[in-house]
Chains A and B, each alone.
Chain A
Amino acid sequence: MKQTETKHPVFAVVGHPNKGKSAIVSSLAMDDSIAVSNIPGTTYRRQSYPLKVDGKIIYELYDTPGFQRARQVLAWLKSHDVSADRRHEVVQAFLNTHRDDSRFHDEVELLTPIMEGAGIIYVVDASKPYGEECEAEMEILRWTGQPSMALINHIDKEDYSAEWKRALGGYFQIIRTYNPMQTDMHQQIAILESMAQLREEWTVQVKASIEFFLHYREQMLERSAAAITRLMHQALSHVERLALASENANEDDKARLKERYKAYLRTEERTTQAEIERIWHHEHLHAEITPMGFEQMDLFSEESASVFGLTRKELLISGATTGAVTGAGVDLLFGGATFLLGGAIGAVVGGVGAYVAFDELSEVKLLGKRLGKRYLEMGPMQNRNFPYILLGRILYYTVMVAARSHAKRDSLTIAMDSTFKERWLDEKVQKSLEKYHKQWRSGKGMDDEMLKSYEALIEKILKKLMEEL
């Protein structure tokens, strides 16, 4: 046994074929590249998934193929009459004898890390009835003498966990339930805490890994907020220009400019979505997005506006509030001699302006008339509603990606969720956001400090949304 050679904790995820071992490793390692399928034999070799912090391995997980000839292995082991304290030597002898035997390829693959000192995580599927065939596997694992725990997975809805727990109790001291299809940080931490109990000398390192996991999640949230802020800044302050060949701009030129402006915004949104996928380690996700999902709900569609944007009423109130604040400034300037007319007029002008310009993105301006070179210009974004639509969509996308388990291999269906807006956009948040959106609308640009505080606001919203998951 080489357990003293390995300084970091090592865990081998083992079990009967097709019980979700790879899905569990995928979920714990946050790696969506692991081959997961219901076809037996998908995992052909053992593969290591180390948690590394700055190159140092904190712990290592092994994904392994399932048992194929458990009864034959057990028979071989039992044919050696030894006392309990020397059983692990027999297992090692089995490995030495059958290392190149193709019949026991899978057993050799899964037993090797265990005999090198790995703790055992035995996976069963409790959505299916208990089966006697697992007993040979559990007996072999017992022969290895390594610390072990059982993980109860639920691939389907049915629940046979009671009978499984009774059976597993005879072999394992720690039995936990884990659903790799759910991204639940608490569940993940609970499993890590159980793993820490397997061997006393591993406790510190595995507990440290929990801290790293939490820190890692914080990093991902921060990076997502930074990416979203970048998108908002680039999209809302963007100015699209179209050089004109003729003296005056015709309707075609204007339409062409509008289309280019929209195309830019769409590209920016898609780029940020890809970045979000990368941040949350879902690099293999994009290709599998269902064609009838979010992609089809265009950024400029009415559906997008109705799901993610403000209603006309909300816009009216937002515009009126901004106008009233400006008008109140005038009142203050005259020491109240205006009888608060400034505020009232500001509210009416702001409100009506916002209401009337509900569908307009930005004004198309003809520039350079006197300088000889003529061009059309569109931007920065003037539409009061668009920032909420864009922000709502990217927040929604981020939450969907972050909440997706790395064990899932099906297409990501991003269905409309009309309640999403209510989950993050209340009056207070809208007021805070409007301050920044107004700055972008003004075309004055945003300094670094403002962008930082906007990023902090986005991070806060994201955290709140994640906590609700």
Chain B
Amino acid sequence: MHLKDYIDLYTLLKGDLSTRQERRTFGLAHEALTSRPLSLLKAWVDEKMRTRQTEQAGEKVAHLLYHTTLWLTLLAFVTGIFSGIGLLSYNGHAPVNLIYFLALVVLLPLVTMTLALLSMLRAKRARNTLVHLSPAYLMERMALFFTKKEDLLTQVEINPMLLNWIVIQRSQLLALAFSVGLLLALLGVVATRDVAFAWSTTLQIDAAAFHRFLEFVALPWRSWLPTAVPSLELVEQSQYYRLGGTLSKEMIEHAAALGAWWKFLAMATLFYAVLLRALFYLLATWGLKRALKKATLALEGAEELLRDMTEPFITTSSMEKTQRGDVVKKGYGRIQEALKLHYDVIQGWAIPSQQLSLLCEVMEVSAPVCVEVGGNNTLEEDQHIVAQSSGEVLLFVKAWEPPTMDLMDYLEALSRQAESVTVVPVGTEHTEYKPKESDQAVWTDMIAKADLSKVWIT
């Protein structure tokens, strides 16, 4: 996963319309990557980008940052060379004060590396002053300002922690390039010119103390490269004072030995400015990689995308739209407000004779013939009952049972035979045989839909 992929993922997630099913299909096609979320996201980005023709934001930003970094690195390298040459320039009157050089290759790296360490520890903070004060950050802002490409970076919202790590890593790279430049300058100057090194300071430091300090500085290599550690004698011979404007006799006598300092300076540069810095660069690169991973997973929608790709896609609903039967609601003209006391025939649809008698009692209706129809009767039995029916027929039906076509067929046959048929939907004993309004409405609608001329409903 690179910065380019991070930005592409950010852009893709902003406008992604893929469904869960599509995401899961992709996840299944890349099942081997399930345990590696970053690789899975990268594969997803690659897949999506393949279909895009134009250069995307990730490519543009990565391109811009690469070139900015390249130019800044070259600049730092060249600056390192010129700084080295400047510091080692020997005008023939006074020797080169190696304390300047030591400050640049030991003190400055140690101070800046301490600051870099602090920046790394505080990289999570969006407003990291140390990062914003870093020369790499300031140089980059200037470069972007002059190339008028600042707008490109404002188009994408890069995670502040990631931005901090980018600056930290770049700072280390620039410092490394600068240090390499310094080292090359030292080697170049030493090889091509006769440089007399000496040390001079206003501070009350005698040669022995300075020697102890140098031995401490040379600690990393003094055991295996003793020639790169200046001896006390050399330190004593190299001290000079500006007062008088002339060199001491002792120095002039040992002029040849003064050049021996270069090994120490080269090792100090190599260890403090180059190797330690390279270590910091690796540390920053590791930090950047980690930040990139964290920032990628923290992108809005990334977690959901991963979840969609890795979790089983479970569906339970139908892909087809539910088809509803036509429900026609219309008014019905043949409504019987009250029941008569006597009918020619009373029938109960799927209502056994005993219950039918009870119903007749409750409803205060009577008839010479009370008979059960439907229910367990055979079709032939019902046909026979229809054939026997005449005059006014009262048909009790269970209100809670919606009218089936079986009943409608029977009703049609009955209405052909009888003078009139009155359908009475009844409720259960819990409701004292009164039908629920909704059940009554269903029955009225069904009877209205059948529209049989002799059929009435209560």
Residues of A whose CB lies within 8 Å of any CB of B are: 16-18, 28-31, 33-35, 37-45, 47-55, 65-72, 75, 103, 106, 125, 128-129, 131-133, 135, 158, 212, 215-216, 219, 222-223, 226, 281, 445, 447-448
Q: Does B18 contact A (CB under 8 A)?
A: no
A103 and B320 contact, CB distance less than 8 A: no
B438 and A38 contact, CB distance less than 8 A: yes
A75 and B442 contact, CB distance less than 8 A: no
A41 and B379 contact, CB distance less than 8 A: no
What CA separation (Å) do A445 and B126 show in the bound complex? 9
Question: In the complex, what's the smallest C-beta–C-beta distance from A75 to chain B, in angstroms?
Answer: 5
Do A42 and B324 contact each other (CB < 8 Å), given the known contacts A54-B24, A132-B375, A158-B428? yes
B314 and A219 contact, CB distance less than 8 A: yes
Do A128 and B400 contact each other (CB < 8 Å), given the known contacts A33-B317, A103-B405, A212-B314? yes
B314 and A18 contact, CB distance less than 8 A: no
What CA separation (Å) do A252 and B350 show in the bound complex? 74
What CA separation (Å) do A127 and B8 show in the bound complex? 60
B314 and A216 contact, CB distance less than 8 A: yes
B369-418 contacts to A, CB under 8 A, are: 374-379, 398, 400-406, 409
B15 partner residues in chain A, CB cutoff 8 A: none
Q: Does B327 contact A (CB under 8 A)?
A: yes
A53 and B313 contact, CB distance less than 8 A: yes
Question: In the complex, what's the smallest C-beta–C-beta distance from B347 to chain A, in angstroms?
Answer: 14
Q: Does B256 contact A (CB under 8 A)?
A: no
A128 partner residues in chain B, CB cutoff 8 A: 398, 400-401, 428
Do A53 and B312 contact each other (CB < 8 Å), given the known contacts A31-B317, A129-B428, A131-B350? yes
A222 partner residues in chain B, CB cutoff 8 A: 307
Query: What are 18 A-B contacts with C-beta separation under 8 Å?
Result: A16-B401, A17-B402, A31-B318, A47-B318, A47-B322, A48-B318, A49-B318, A53-B313, A55-B313, A69-B405, A71-B374, A72-B409, A103-B405, A106-B405, A132-B376, A133-B375, A133-B406, A448-B298
CB-CB nearest in chain A for B380: A75
B400 and A49 contact, CB distance less than 8 A: no
Question: In the complex, what's the smallest C-beta–C-beta distance from A459 to chain B, in angstroms?
Answer: 13
A53 partner residues in chain B, CB cutoff 8 A: 312-314
What CA separation (Å) do A47 and B319 show in the bound complex? 10
What CA separation (Å) do A38 and B323 show in the bound complex? 16
A65 and B404 contact, CB distance less than 8 A: no
B442 and A39 contact, CB distance less than 8 A: yes
Q: Does B315 contact A (CB under 8 A)?
A: yes
Question: In the complex, what's the smallest C-beta–C-beta distance from A79 to chain B, in angstroms?
Answer: 11
Question: In the complex, what's the smallest C-beta–C-beta distance from A136 to chain B, in angstroms?
Answer: 8
A281 and B405 contact, CB distance less than 8 A: no
CB-CB nearest in chain B for A103: B405
A41 and B312 contact, CB distance less than 8 A: no
CB-CB nearest in chain B for A33: B322
B313 partner residues in chain A, CB cutoff 8 A: 52-55
Question: In the complex, what's the smallest C-beta–C-beta distance from A442 to chain B, in angstroms?
Answer: 12
B432-453 contacts to A, CB under 8 A, are: 438-439, 442, 445-446
A71 and B406 contact, CB distance less than 8 A: yes
Do A40 and B318 contact each other (CB < 8 Å), given the known contacts A53-B313, A54-B312, A219-B311? no
Q: Does B303 contact A (CB under 8 A)?
A: yes
CB-CB nearest in chain B for A51: B316
What CA separation (Å) do A206 and B376 show in the bound complex? 36
A-contact 0/1 string along B202-218, CB 8 Å cutoff: 00000000000000000
B317 and A281 contact, CB distance less than 8 A: yes
Name the residue among B311, B320, B326 with the largest chain A CB count within 10 angstroms.
B311
Q: Does B304 contact A (CB under 8 A)?
A: yes
What CA separation (Å) do A142 and B189 show in the bound complex? 105
Contact for A133 among B317, B322, B401, B428, CB less than 8 A: B401
Question: What 18 additional pairs, Cβ within 8 angstroms, besides A44-B323, A50-B318, A133-B401?
Answer: A29-B316, A31-B317, A39-B445, A41-B325, A41-B327, A43-B322, A43-B325, A55-B313, A68-B405, A69-B405, A125-B400, A128-B401, A132-B375, A133-B404, A212-B312, A222-B307, A281-B317, A445-B126
Name the residue among A41, A44, A47, A48 with the largest chain B CB count within 10 angstroms.
A41
Do A131 and B325 contact each other (CB < 8 Å), given the known contacts A31-B317, A40-B446? no
What CA separation (Å) do A37 and B379 show in the bound complex? 30
Q: Does B37 contact A (CB under 8 A)?
A: no
Contact for A44 among B298, B324, B350, B401, CB less than 8 A: B324
B342 partner residues in chain A, CB cutoff 8 A: none
B375 and A34 contact, CB distance less than 8 A: no
Contact for A35 among B294, B322, B398, B403, CB less than 8 A: B322
B402 partner residues in chain A, CB cutoff 8 A: 17-18, 39-40, 66
B323 and A47 contact, CB distance less than 8 A: yes
B405 partner residues in chain A, CB cutoff 8 A: 68-69, 103, 106
A70 partner residues in chain B, CB cutoff 8 A: 404, 406
Do A135 and B401 contact each other (CB < 8 Å), given the known contacts A158-B428, A215-B314, A219-B314? no
A52 and B401 contact, CB distance less than 8 A: no
Question: In the complex, what's the smallest C-beta–C-beta distance from A359 to chain B, in angstroms?
Answer: 31
A226 and B303 contact, CB distance less than 8 A: yes
A75 partner residues in chain B, CB cutoff 8 A: 378-379
Do A30 and B318 contact each other (CB < 8 Å), given the known contacts A68-B404, A103-B405, A133-B374? no
Question: In the complex, what's the smallest C-beta–C-beta distance from A53 to chain B, in angstroms?
Answer: 5
What CA separation (Å) do A222 and B307 show in the bound complex? 10
CB-CB nearest in chain A for B304: A226
B281-300 contacts to A, CB under 8 A, are: 294, 297-298
A133 partner residues in chain B, CB cutoff 8 A: 350, 374-375, 401, 404, 406
What CA separation (Å) do A39 and B324 show in the bound complex? 11
What CA separation (Å) do A48 and B378 show in the bound complex? 34
Question: In the complex, what's the smallest C-beta–C-beta distance from B422 to chain A, in angstroms?
Answer: 21
B25 partner residues in chain A, CB cutoff 8 A: 55
Question: In the complex, what's the smallest C-beta–C-beta distance from B435 to chain A, in angstroms?
Answer: 12
B409 and A47 contact, CB distance less than 8 A: no
CB-CB nearest in chain B for A61: B316
Contact for A65 among B325, B350, B352, B442, CB less than 8 A: B325
Q: Does B124 contact A (CB under 8 A)?
A: yes
Q: Does B430 contact A (CB under 8 A)?
A: yes
Do A38 and B442 contact each other (CB < 8 Å), given the known contacts A53-B314, A448-B294? yes
A212 partner residues in chain B, CB cutoff 8 A: 312, 314
What CA separation (Å) do A106 and B297 show in the bound complex? 53
B318 partner residues in chain A, CB cutoff 8 A: 29, 31, 33-34, 47-50
A44 and B406 contact, CB distance less than 8 A: no
Question: In the complex, what's the smallest C-beta–C-beta distance from B310 to chain A, in angstroms?
Answer: 11
CB-CB nearest in chain A for B311: A219
Q: Does B28 contact A (CB under 8 A)?
A: yes
Question: In the complex, what's the smallest C-beta–C-beta distance from B399 to chain A, in angstroms?
Answer: 10
What CA separation (Å) do A356 and B378 show in the bound complex? 82
B312 and A39 contact, CB distance less than 8 A: no
A41 partner residues in chain B, CB cutoff 8 A: 325-327
B303 partner residues in chain A, CB cutoff 8 A: 226
B159-196 contacts to A, CB under 8 A, are: 161
CB-CB nearest in chain B for A40: B402
Question: In the complex, what's the smallest C-beta–C-beta distance from B157 to chain A, in angstroms?
Answer: 13
CB-CB nearest in chain A for B24: A54
CB-CB nearest in chain A for B398: A131
B337-388 contacts to A, CB under 8 A, are: 350, 352, 374-379
Do A69 and B442 contact each other (CB < 8 Å), given the known contacts A31-B317, A54-B24, A54-B312? no
Question: In the complex, what's the smallest C-beta–C-beta distance from A140 to chain B, in angstroms?
Answer: 12
A135 and B376 contact, CB distance less than 8 A: yes
Closest 6 CB pairs of A and B: A40-B402, A44-B325, A31-B317, A132-B375, A41-B325, A68-B405
What CA separation (Å) do A75 and B294 show in the bound complex? 72
Question: In the complex, what's the smallest C-beta–C-beta distance from B250 to chain A, in angstroms?
Answer: 57
Question: In the complex, what's the smallest C-beta–C-beta distance from B156 to chain A, in angstroms?
Answer: 19
CB-CB nearest in chain A for B295: A448
CB-CB nearest in chain A for B297: A448
What CA separation (Å) do A54 and B352 show in the bound complex? 53
